[in-house]
Amino acid sequence: AELKAIDGEHHLHPFTDFKDLKERGTRIVTKAENVYIYTDEGQKLLDGMSGLWCCNLGYSQPSIVEAVAKQMAELPYYNNFFQCSHPPAIQLSKELTDLAPAHINNVFFTNSGSEGNDTVIRLVNRYWDLKGQPEKCNIIARKNAYHGSTVAAASLGGMGYMHKQFNTLGNIHHVDQPYWFDEGGNMTPEEFGLKAAKSLEDKILELGPETVGAFIAEPIQGAGGVIIPPSTYWPAVQEILNKYDILFISDEVIFGFGRTGKMFGCDYYGTKPDMINFAKAVTNGYQPLGGVLVGDKVTDVLKTQGGDFNHGFTYSGHPAAAAAALATLKVMRDENIVENVEKELGPYLAEKLAVVAEHPLVGEVRSVGLVGAIELVKDKKTRARWGSDGEAGGACRQASLNNDLVMRATGDIMLVAPPLVITKAQIDELIQKAMKALDEAHEQLKR
Ligand code: PLP
C-alpha cells in the first residue's frame, strides 16, 4: 500500500494518463519466472506479451544474468567513442552481422529502439549528403506505425493521437498500412496489398523521387495491431523502392530475433533492407541495448567518402548489455529457439487461434510465428465494432487480467506475443484464459 501511494504521488509512468493512474492505482510486479509474472497482491499471470515484446526467452535465464554479473565485475563500463572499443561489443558486432542477411556487415549500437530510429535518420541523411544528393531528405513511414518515443522516432510513427502532443519533424510523410481487415472493403487481401503498396508509389511521385531518401516500416505492424500484410504487399513495395533508388529500413525492434520463426522479419518476407533497427529481445529485455545493422550499400559510402559520423550515445554497446546480448544469442542457438517457433510453436498457436476465431466476439484471428491478433467485433459478417473505438478491447484487456493473462489491446484488437520458450501446454493455458476473457468481455458488452 505504501509503494502504491508513492507510485501515484511521484512516478510519471510512460503511456499512462497521469490523473487516471492515481485513482486506479498501480499493479506492482515483484517477481517473474519462466513465462509468468507475480504481483504484490499474489496474482500469478501468464505473460502473453513477453513484457513489452522483449523477454522472448522468458524470465528465468540464469546464464544471461551470470554473464552480466561477470562482465560488471570485469569491466563495468567503457565506451566505443573515437578509437575505443571493448571485447563484448566487438564480439557482438561479429555475431549480429553474421546473423544478418549477407549484404549487411556493420552495426551501430544504441540503447533503445527509439535511439536506433534517430540513428537511422542521421545515417540516411549522411548517406545522401555524401552521395551528393542532399535533397533526398524526405523519409516515408506508415500511418498507425509505432517507431519509438524520441522526437524523431515519434515523428516516424504514424499514430495521429501522438502527433498532437509535440511538434513533428517536417520531412517525414506517411502512407497507408496494409490493414485488410479494417480497410480492405470488398477487395481480396491480394488486391488490397497492391493498393497499399501503390499508396507508397503515389507519395513518392507526389514528393518527387529525387527528394525521397528512405522508407521505414516494420515487417508486420506490431503495436499498431499486428497488421500482417497480404502476400502481395512486400514484393510490390521492394520493387517500388528499387525503382526509385530509395533506402529501405526494416524496423525489427519487435520482429527481430525469432518472433516470426525466422531470425529477422525481412528473412520471413524475403525483403532486402539497407538497414535493420533492432532492440528489445536482443538482450531478452534484461539490459537496454539496441542498434542499427547497416548494409554494405550505405557503409561503402560512409567508409570511403567523408568518413566521420558525429553521432553516438554514452552507453552505446555498454559492456554489460553487450554481454547480456551474447548470452541471449547463445541460449537461442543452444536451444534451437527460432527453428522451434517456425516448426512447432508457431503452427500450434495458429491451430489454437483458429478455435478462438469461432467465438462470437471475434471477427478474425491472424498470426505469424509466435505473434497473433484477435479482432473484436459486434457483427462477424459486417465487421461492425462495439460502441466507441477501444470499448471492446478495453473490456477484454481487463477481463484477461482478471483471468491471470496479460494480453495487450490496440483499439479493438487483442495482441499476443508470448515468450518463444512457451510450451504447448502453456499455449493451451493462454488460449483457455483468452477464451474466458472473451466470454466475460462479451457478456459485459451485451449488457
Ligand atoms: N520501433 C518499434 C517497432 C517498436 O515497437 C518500439 C517499441 O516498442 C520502438 C521502435 C522503440 O523502442 P524503445 O522503446 O526501445 O525505444
Q: Pairing state of beta strands 290-295 and 275-278?
A: antiparallel
The pLDDT-based confidence of 380 (bands split at 50, 70, 90) is very high
Say yes or no: 248 and 279 in one domain.
yes
Is 108 in contact with 317 (CB distance < 8 Å)? no
* Four-point Cα dihedral 332, 333, 339, 340, nearest 10: -50
Distances (CA, A) of 78 to 74, 168, 395: 11, 34, 47
Amino acid, single-letter form, for residue 83: Q
Write the residue with the smallest CA distance to atom 2 of ligand 1: 147
ipTM of this predicted complex? 0.99
Sign for the CA dihedral angle at 319, 320, 323, 324 comes to: negative
119 C-alpha vs ligand 1 centroid, how far in Å? 13
Mutate to test the pocket of ligand 1, among 15, 49, 55, 114 (most ligand atoms within 8 A of CB): 114
Do 14 and 129 lie in one domain? The reply is no
Whether the predicted pLDDT of 9 surpasses 80:
yes
Residue 322 and residue 359 in one domain: no
pLDDT one-digit tens code per residue, 403-435? 999 999 999 999 999 999 999 999 999 999 999
Boundary-marking domain end, from 280, 307, 334: 334
Q: Pick from 263, 326, 214, 335: which is nearest to 102 by CA?
A: 263
Whose cell is 534517430? That residue is 118
Between 301 and 22, whose confidence is greater? 301
Which residue has a Cα nearest atom 7 of ligand 1? Answer: 148
Task: Give 116 Cα–ligand 1 centroid separation in angstroms.
Answer: 9
Phi, psi for 35 (deg, rounded to 5): -110, 20
Q: How far is ligand 1, taken at its centre, from the CA of residue 208, in Å?
A: 29
Averaged confidence pLDDT in the chain: 97
Ligand 1 centroid to residue 187 C-alpha, Å:
32
Tell me the best of 254, 276, 278, 313 to mutate to test the pocket of ligand 1, counting ligand atoms within 8 Å of each CB and taking the most.
254
The four Cα atoms 41, 44, 46, 47 give a dihedral, to 10 degrees, of 40
Of 53, 280, 289, best ligand 1 pocket probe by most atoms within 8 Å of the beta carbon = 280
Closest CA to 375 of 388, 359, 387: 359
- Dist CA 72 CA 68 (whole Å): 6
- Ligand 1 centroid, distance to 78 Cα (angstroms): 25
Which pairs count as long-range contacts for 300-309, CB under 8 Å and 24+ apart, including other chains?
Answer: 301/127, 301/130, 301/131, 302/123, 302/126, 302/127, 302/130, 305/130, 305/131, 306/126, 306/129, 306/130, 309/122, 309/123, 309/126
Domain that holds residue 412: 2-60+336-446
The CATH number given to whatever domain includes residue 411 is 3.90.1150.10
The answer to whether residue 24 scores a pLDDT higher than 90 is no
Asked whether residue 230 falls in the same domain as residue 275, the answer is yes
pLDDT digits (tens, 9 = 90+) for 299-357: 999 999 977 899 999 999 999 999 999 999 999 999 999 999 999 999 999 999 999 99
Could you tell me if 40 and 171 lie in one domain?
no
What is the model's pTM?
0.97
Q: What are phi and psi of 352, to 5 degrees?
A: -70, -35
The DSSP secondary-structure symbol of 10 reads H
Q: Are residues 113 and 54 in the same domain?
A: no
pLDDT classification of 20: cutoffs 50, 70, 90: confident
Q: What is the separation of C-alpha 119 from the centre of its chain, rounded to a whole number of angstroms?
A: 17
55: CA distance to ligand 1 center in Å?
Answer: 14
Q: Which stretches within 222-370 are classed as H helix?
A: 233-243, 265-269, 296-304, 319-334, 337-340, 346-356
Atom of ligand 1 nearest to the CA of 114: 16
- What is the rounded distance in angstroms from the CA atom of residue 347 to the CA atom of residue 309? 44
* Number of domains forming the structure of the chain: 2
Q: Which atom of ligand 1 is nearest to the CA of 290?
A: 15
In this structure, the answer to whether residues 164 and 89 fall within a common structural domain is yes
276 and 353 both lie in a single domain = no
- Per-residue pLDDT, 25: 78
222: domain CATH number is: 3.40.640.10
With a Cβ cut-off of 6 Å, ligand 1 is lined by 112-114, 117, 146-148, 218, 222-223, 251, 253-254, 279, 290
**Same domain, yes or no, for 92 and 190?**
yes
Residue nearest to atom 1 of ligand 1 (CA): 147
Mean pLDDT for the stretch of residues 106-121: 98
Task: Count the Cβ atoms, other than its own, within 10 Å of residue 131.
Answer: 14
Which of 334, 352, 376 corresponds to the end of one domain? 334
- The pLDDT assigned to 214 comes to 98
Question: Residue 266: its pLDDT value, please?
Answer: 98
Q: Ligand 1, closest atom to CA 53?
A: 8
CA of 254 to the centre of ligand 1 (A): 7
The reply to whether 49 and 166 lie within a common domain is no
Contact, 115 vs 290, CB < 8 A? yes
Closest ligand 1 atom, CA of 115? 16
Per-residue pLDDT of 215-224, as tens digits, reads 999 999 999 9
For residues 21-42, average pLDDT: 91
Ligand 1, atom 12: nearest CA belongs to which residue? 113
Boundary of a domain, candidates 334, 360, 386: 334
For residues 103 and 296, is the Cβ–Cβ distance under 8 A?
Answer: yes
Please check whether residue 141 is in contact with residue 216, taking contact to mean a CB–CB distance below 8 angstroms.
yes
Chain mean position to CA 230: 19
For residues 272 and 355, membership in a common domain is answered with no
Supply the Cα-derived Rg of the chain in whole angstroms: 22
Q: Is the pLDDT of residue 161 over 90?
A: no
Is residue 118 over pLDDT 90?
yes
Average pLDDT over residues 266-287: 98
Q: How far away, in angstroms, is 368 Cα from ligand 1 center?
A: 19
Tell me what pLDDT residue 125 has: 97
Kindly state whether residues 84 and 26 are assigned to the same domain. no
279, pLDDT greater than 80:
yes
Mean pLDDT to the nearest integer, 349-376: 98
Distances in Å between the Cα of 159 and the Cα atoms of 138, 222, 225 are: 19, 12, 12
